[in-house]
């Protein structure tokens, strides 16, 4: 494969981790370029299940290099837990992991601020993962952040931390929260720094040299298009650019070095957290939850579910430049006699049909879907391994999703396992 960006074309949790894991077989390097440990990428390898939060999904494959790029926000303590957890299960994490020295740190005061701001928002809350992601990116933009380069320099870190604790504790107290114990943070972060230091480097030059040597790179998106800070359903979004451009800024790789963009979609729609979701349908949620599916990998929250929203995915294809589409969880719809696809919106169910999502979240919340109906295939698909063996109605459904999304059908996934992946 060539240099490829993989993004979520919906609201996150499209099954990107699994697709990355499959595609990594043909790649040399996997890069995470945005987000933090708000992400949860689930990968099933035989009878083993792994949930990754910060480490790229390529780590499970031998001989692949994983890079945590400059655009990621890193909770060093959580990263150490993740590294040790993988090592304890026999996964090698050593020279195969590189961490950018300019990636920003998530600090305990970020988590505290995240929690406080959500509490103060009351019913208008975003429904964040409370991992401190928003405040960490806020500090980055305000130029008050601490970076990996600071963490691995004990004297620098100590001095900068003292100053940051002072300021943040004033804010936390003002918001009714409990002040952070600076000495405790220093001890915990210093211990994490010891473990992480060997991994920290200038990943930008590393990646450029690797690309010059014809190594092939896969950029692993976290979250999804409609959680993008610029293009999502603001303010019900995460705080990074989850769209394809974020892979470039978050890694220091120029757009003209990218060959392909793959969009990942579920065969239906899900969202965790608050914010508009035009095709939300409780009955679909009840069905999927009843099958034990659609619980968040990071927070365990039940995901909100609905029909496939082609208005959203078409927009996502445009913003990301999606060339190829991977459809996951097709098997989740195996039992349905009829399946709906949203092809347009009408505000309050009246007036003209919109074919792009309104920018204003309030307006999007008022959108009622215009549906087309498709016959279900009513056959289990999870054991099917070849595209031609899928029921014709399932193929027709997948092809319709790709056509409506304006992308070429590339992968259909019929279960969490590696083998349950049909590549066209």
State the DSSP code for 92.
-
- Contact stretch for ligand IMP (CB under 6 A) within 84-92, 162-170, 232-240, 243-251: 232-240
139 within 8 A of 204, measured Cβ to Cβ = no
Pairwise CA distance, residues 238 & 246, whole Å: 13
Question: 419: closest CA among 22, 79, 7?
Answer: 22
Q: For the chain, how far is it from start to end, CA to CA, in angstroms?
A: 14
Q: Which does 129 bind (CB under 5 to 8 A by kind): Mg ion, ligand IMP, none?
A: ligand IMP
Q: Report the site for Mg ion in 280-309 (rule: CB under 5 A).
A: 297
Interface with ligand IMP includes 37 (CB under 6 A)? Answer: no
- Contact stretch for ligand IMP (CB under 6 A) within 234-242, 283-291, 310-318, 408-416: 234-242
> Known catalytic residue: 150?
no
Cβ distance to ligand IMP smaller for residue 195 or 297? 297
Interface with ligand IMP includes 106 (CB under 6 A)? Answer: no
Cβ distance to ligand IMP smaller for residue 254 or 302? 302
For ligand IMP, the binding residue among 19, 31, 227, 384 (CB under 6 A) is 227
Interface with ligand IMP includes 54 (CB under 6 A)? Answer: no
Q: Which does 133 bind (CB under 5 to 8 A by kind): ligand IMP, Mg ion, none?
A: ligand IMP
Beta strands 41-45 and 48-52, pairing class: antiparallel
172 within 8 A of 109, measured Cβ to Cβ = yes
Q: Where are the beta strands (DSSP E) in 284-330?
A: 304-306, 308-309, 324-328
Pairwise CA distance, residues 413 & 17, whole Å: 12
- Contact stretch for ligand IMP (CB under 6 A) within 33-41, 198-206, 247-255, 314-322: 33-41
Interface with Mg ion includes 13 (CB under 5 A)? Answer: yes
* Cα angle 229-52-385, degrees, rounded to a multiple of 5: 100
Question: 320: closest CA among 424, 211, 247, 411?
Answer: 247
Interface with ligand IMP includes 40 (CB under 6 A)? Answer: yes
Question: 323: closest CA among 217, 408, 412?
Answer: 408
Interface with ligand IMP includes 127 (CB under 6 A)? Answer: yes
For ligand IMP, the binding residue among 10, 112, 223, 328 (CB under 6 A) is 223
Catalytic residue from among 21, 28, 41, 309: 41
Question: 31: closest CA among 102, 98, 86, 106?
Answer: 98
| Catalytic residue numbers, as ranges | 13, 41
Question: Which residues make up the interface to ligand IMP (CB under 6 A)?
Answer: 12-13, 38-40, 126-129, 131, 133-134, 222-223, 227, 236, 238-239, 272-273
């Amino acid at each position: 494969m060539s240099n490829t960006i993989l993004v979520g074309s919906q609201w996150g949790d499209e099954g990107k981790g699994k697709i990355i894991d499959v595609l990594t077989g043909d790649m040399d390097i996997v890069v995470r370029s945005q987000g933090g440990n708000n992400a949860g990428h689930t990968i099933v390898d035989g009878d083993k299940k792994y949930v990754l939060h910060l480490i790229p999904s390529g780590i499970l494959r031998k001989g692949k290099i994983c890079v945590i790029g400059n655009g990621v926000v890193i909770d060093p303590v959580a990263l150490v837990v993740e590294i040790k957890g993988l090592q304890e299960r026999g996964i090698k994490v050593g020279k195969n992991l590189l961490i950018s020295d300019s990636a920003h740190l998530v600090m305990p005061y970020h988590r505290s601020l995240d929690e406080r701001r959500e509490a103060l928002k009351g019913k208008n809350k975003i429904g964040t993962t409370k991992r401190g992601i928003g405040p960490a990116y806020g500090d980055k933009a305000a130029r008050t952040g601490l970076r990996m380069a600071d963490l691995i320099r004990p004297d620098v870190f100590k001095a900068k931390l003292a100053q940051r604790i002072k300021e943040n504790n004033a804010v936390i107290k003002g918001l009714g929260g409990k002040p952070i114990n600076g000495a405790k943070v220093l001890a915990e972060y210093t211990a994490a720094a010891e473990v992480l230091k060997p991994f920290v480097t200038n990943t930008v030059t590393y990646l450029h040299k690797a690309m010059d040597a014809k190594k092939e790179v896969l950029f692993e998106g976290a979250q999804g298009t409609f959680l993008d800070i610029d293009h999502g359903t603001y303010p019900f979004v995460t705080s990074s650019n989850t769209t394809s451009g974020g892979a470039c800024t978050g890694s220091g790789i120029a757009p003209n070095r990218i060959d392909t963009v793959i969009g990942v979609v579920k065969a239906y729609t899900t969202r965790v957290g608050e914010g508009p979701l035009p095709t939300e349908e409780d009955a679909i949620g009840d069905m999927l939850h009843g099958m034990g599916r659609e619980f968040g990998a990071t927070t365990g929250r039940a995901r909100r579910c609905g029909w496939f929203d082609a208005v959203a995915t078409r927009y996502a294809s445009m913003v990301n430049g999606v060339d190829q589409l991977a459809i996951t969880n097709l098997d989740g719809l195996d039992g349905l006699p009829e399946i709906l696809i949203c092809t347009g919106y009408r505000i309050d169910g009246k007036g003209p049909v919109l074919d792009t999502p309104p920018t204003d979240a309030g307006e999007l919340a008022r959108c009622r879907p215009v549906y087309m109906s498709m016959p279900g295939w009513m056959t289990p698909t999870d054991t099917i391994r070849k595209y031609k063996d899928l029921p014709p109605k399932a193929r027709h459904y997948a092809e319709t999703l790709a056509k409506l999304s304006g992308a070429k059908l590339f992968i259909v996934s019929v279960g969490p396992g590696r083998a349950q992946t049909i590549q066209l």
